[in-house]
Amino acid sequence: METKNNITWRIEEKVLPLKYSWKISRNSSESKTNLFIYVGDEKCFGIGEAAPNIRYREIPAELVSLFHSIEDLLPKNSETPVTELANWLENNKIPNALRFAIESAYVHFICTKRNISVQDFFGLPTSDRVATSFSLPIMPVEKLGNFITENNLQRFPYIKVKINKEEGFEILSEVAKYISKPLIIDPNESFTDVEELLKFSQKINDFNILMLEQPMPAHLTEEYKYLKSKSLFPVFADESMTDMADISALKEQFHGVNMKLMKAGGYIRGITQLKMAQQMGLKTMVGCMVETSLGIGSAMNLGALAQFADLDGFLILQHDPFDLLAEKQGFLQKV
């Protein structure tokens, strides 16, 4: 992009062991491998996080190789506009998680140089204290009560419950014995029959349900339109909400959207998506993958644009390498 050389880029891979098995309807893991992009000069630097998602065929080793292949094409000084970098990454079809890591590292570097916050850089309202949900992974039903009690999950304002269609009712019945807070039901696309899903919704109607998140595969657009017209609960898009999501089309299928920066591919795209969703009357949520407090803190910067936050990804790590956030009584705060 430029010829003058005074900033350097590098990538680092970290294996992040989890406190417990993270199981959702389509896979299970004991650790996550995330990537960290560093960019800086002799005075300061910025870091951006990539949390590769197998659902979108993002493989850590492949992203590392890709980064090395484009490293010499990235900005060589801090005069390059962020929008120019973002457009270049998009035009070259860089996978979303890596694209976000590169763009956010550069934004964080620029903000550090200018001694301003990311929110000031983008003209966003301050959101330094954000209420978050906590996600319950799928586990044997008989273990749920102890897990909820031992982790004091009642302190969170709402709880996301990961389910599959086979055990969904049993899981929710057990959770409801220990949690009085509103529940976000997240089947992670495990339902394929909309009528079966509507029957399931009737069955769980007595529970304190806040919303139903992406219950069916993203390609079932007609089924989602039908579901929206019949659903007992607000239906939110997650897997349908990608970098190229057509917000106007999603409005026909969903009541709200869960924007994740790792899928949006950058601050700029994420902010645009949230604002467009709001303008179209959709409810908004800021979500996350399993990430360190670096990635979660990045998402927190957009908290003022969302009615809900699902930003617990760093809380399930055995060790957070950055320790940029603290959680108290279900609220996140930068430290």
Look at residue 214 in the predicted model and tell me its pLDDT: 98
Predicted confidence band of residue 5 (pLDDT cuts 50, 70, 90): low
Cβ–Cβ under 8 Å, residues 22 and 316: yes
- Distance between CA 76 and CA 79 in Å, rounded? 9
On the question of pLDDT at 4 being above 70, the answer is no
pLDDT of residue 54 exceeding 70, the answer is yes
Closest CA relative to residue 132, chosen from 295, 319, 285, 269: 285
2 has pLDDT over 50: no
Q: What is the pLDDT of residue 43?
A: 94
Mean pLDDT across 237-265 = 97
Any residues with CB less than 8 A from the CB of 4 and at least 6 apart, and which? 76, 77
Task: Work out the average pLDDT over 155-160.
Answer: 98
User: What is the model's pLDDT at position 247?
Assistant: 97
Q: How far apart are the first and last CA of the chain?
A: 35
Is residue 39 pLDDT above 80, yes or no? yes
Amino acid identity, position 262: M
- Cα(297)–Cα(32) distance, integer angstroms: 18
Confidence of residue 83 (pLDDT cuts 50, 70, 90): very high
Neighbours of 59 (CB within 10 A): 14
Query: pLDDT tens across 167-197, in order?
Result: 999 999 999 999 999 999 999 999 999 999 9
What does the pLDDT average to over 58-85?
97
CA distance 7 to 188: 41
pLDDT band at residue 127 using 50, 70 and 90 as cut-offs: confident
CATH architecture of 129-334: Alpha-Beta Barrel (3.20)
Average pLDDT taken over every residue of the chain: 96
Residue range(s) occupied by CATH 3.30.390.10 in the chain: 8-120
- The CA distance from 286 to 218, in Å, is 19
Q: Quick one: pLDDT band at residue 130, thresholds 50, 70, 90?
A: very high
Q: What gap in Å lies between CA 75 and CA 39, rounded to an integer?
A: 10
| CATH 3.20.20.120 domain range(s) in the chain | 129-334
pLDDT in tens, 288-333: 999 999 999 999 999 999 999 999 999 999 999 999 999 999 999 9
What number is the average pLDDT over the span 274-293? Answer: 98
N residues, the chain = 335
User: According to the model, what pLDDT value does residue 74 have?
Assistant: 98
- Provide mean pLDDT across the span 212-220: 98
Residue 17: CB partners within 8 Å, gap ≥ 6? 30, 31, 317, 318, 319
CATH architecture, domain defined by 8-120: 2-Layer Sandwich (3.30)
pTM: 0.95
Query: Is residue 38 a contact partner of residue 62, using CB atoms and an 8 Å limit?
Result: no
Residue 3 has pLDDT above 60, yes or no: no
Gap between the Cα atoms of 250 and 265, Å rounded? 18
Which band of pLDDT confidence, cut at 50, 70 and 90, is reported for residue 27?
confident
Average pLDDT over residues 37-56: 96
User: In this model, does residue 122 exceed pLDDT 50?
Assistant: yes
Over pLDDT 90: what percentage of the chain?
Answer: 95
